[in-house]
Each structure stands twice: as structure tokens, then as C-alpha cells.
Structure 1
Amino acid sequence: MTKRVLVVEDNELNLKLFCDLLRAHDFAAEPVRDGREAVAKARDFAPDLVVMDIQMPHVSGLDLIREMKGDSRLRAIPIMAVTAYSGRDDEERIRAAGANAYVSKPISLARFMDEVRALVPDSAPAPQG
């Protein structure tokens, strides 16, 4: 069964990169460009993982993480924060909001996929041989 990832990112190039990368690794990726739509889309799409930008217009990714973790229907979904914030205090603040993982921009494609696989059970490729 294909695992589903909701990608919340206001930057069009990053959104396309994340979705294309996930799809190339056999995930169903659902883009959300406006953070104000993220919670409703998460309820409708029922993702196995949420990839969340932190710096967005209109609403902070931190606020969205807190809102999702406070929602009984969404709290069990792991959230991977992806952000240009890269200081130690930033990571602690993001994790304290409820993020399960943290990847700083610019991202390493391999690290991004390693984190996705770590957060989504049964999504690792089958061993060869």
C-alpha cells in the first residue's frame, strides 16, 4: 500500500522538489501551498507523514504543528519540519512544538529520504537479493 505524505510548503520550487522526490520513491505526495489549508487537508488526506515548512506567510509552521498535535484525529501522524532555521535553539523549539524530525535547508536529498523512511513504518525499500 502506497504511503501518503502531506507536504506543506509555500515556496513553489521546494514544494515541487519535495513532491517529486517523494513520488520517485513511491510515496503519494499531496502538496499544500498555503499553511492555512494544512489542517483541513490533513484531515481529508489522512497522511502517514506531514512534511512541514516552518517559515510561511499567514501562519507559522510551529503553530500548525501544535494544532495538529492537539487534534485527536491528527496527533499520531508524525511531522518532519523542514526549515532554514538551523540553530540548536531552533531545533529544540521545533521539537518542543511536536515535530518528530527536523531537516534544515538547503536539504540533502539522501538525508530527507532517510528521515521520511524513519518516520513512516514499512516504507523502506525491500532488500535486494
Structure 2
Amino acid sequence: MKTTGSKKKILILDKNSRMLSVIDDIMYYGNFDVHLTYDPNAIYDKAKVIHPDLIILDYLLLDMDCALVCQDFKDDEQLRQVPIIVVTAFKSKKAELESYKCDALFVKPLDMELLASRMEYLMAS
């Protein structure tokens, strides 16, 4: 995935370093400005400061309901257009976009080429 102009900003929630391999792969597929937070309670405030082009949440890491976190972003005038990707290990627990109120949902293990393609599409929209 190639980007033109300024680097796209990606904000990733990774409380327990479970997404580090994904972050490495994201950096391999494109030249991004990756911002990482380990605190689920701080992701909204961090997004307000950095104005990301994409947000990636690891569902297992959230101490609160993932749908509520996504809804906070969608309810915010400044952040509602920022696409959100949820990554989950749950294959059977309502793995639907509507359940999480996100723009894309990926079940682990991740197909990085598919994830990269979806990231590119969401950031171009």
C-alpha cells in the first residue's frame, strides 16, 4: 500500500501489546504515522488531539463495551468521519459490523493483505 503526500495517521488501541505484530505489518505495508495508546479510557482524548485518519481497536483489550467506544466516536462532530476497524478473536460472539458500530471488522488471525486493502479503502473514502 503506497501513500502520497503527507503520512496518514493511524491510532491503535493496544493495552497489552497483543497488536504489536499487526503494527509491524502495518508499517511494512505503508508509510504511516502510527500512534499507539495502551489505555482504553484515553483513546478518545488522544483522537481529539491527533485527528487520526483511521482508528484500530482490539476488542479483547477494551475494559468497556466496544460498541460504546465506537459510538462515542460516531457521535462526535469532529471524529464521526474517522473510520474504525475492530480486530477481534471472537469468531462466534456477534462478529458483525452492526454489533460494534464500526466500519470494518477483522477476526484473528488476520489476513494482512486484506487488512491493508481495507485500510487503504477506508482512508481514501
Question: Normalising to structure 1: TM-score of the pair?
Answer: 0.81
The amino acid of 1:68's aligned partner reads: F
What is the aligned counterpart of 2:49 among 41, 44, 48?
44
Count how many residue pairs are aligned between Structure 1 and Structure 2: 119
What is the aligned counterpart of 2:38 among 12, 33, 40?
33
Say if 1:58 and 1:91 are closer, same or farther in 2 by CA, change over 3 A.
closer
2:21 alignment partner, SS class: helix
Distance in 2 separating the partners of 1:96 and 1:72: 21
Displacement of 1:57? 4.6
Q: CA RMSD in A?
A: 1.8
Distance in 2 separating the partners of 1:46 and 1:57: 21
**1:90 partnered with 2:90:** no
Distance in 2 separating the partners of 1:51 and 1:76: 14
1:106 match: 109
- Write out the 4+ residue segments of structure 1 that deviate beyond 3 Å after TM superposition: none
2:25 match: 21
Structure 1, unmatched stretches of 5+, are: 123-129
Distance in 2 separating the partners of 1:103 and 1:57: 16
Q: Percent identity?
A: 22
**1:7 partnered with 2:21:** no
Distance in 2 separating the partners of 1:106 and 1:121: 25
What is the aligned counterpart of 1:62 among 60, 67, 80?
67
Structure 2, unmatched stretches of 5+, are: 1-5
Displacement of 1:96? 4.2
The answer to which structure, 1 or 2, has the higher relative contact order (CA under 8 A, 6+ apart) is: 2
User: Contact 1:50–1:78 (CA<8 Å) still a contact in 2?
Assistant: yes
Question: Normalising to structure 2: TM-score of the pair?
Answer: 0.84
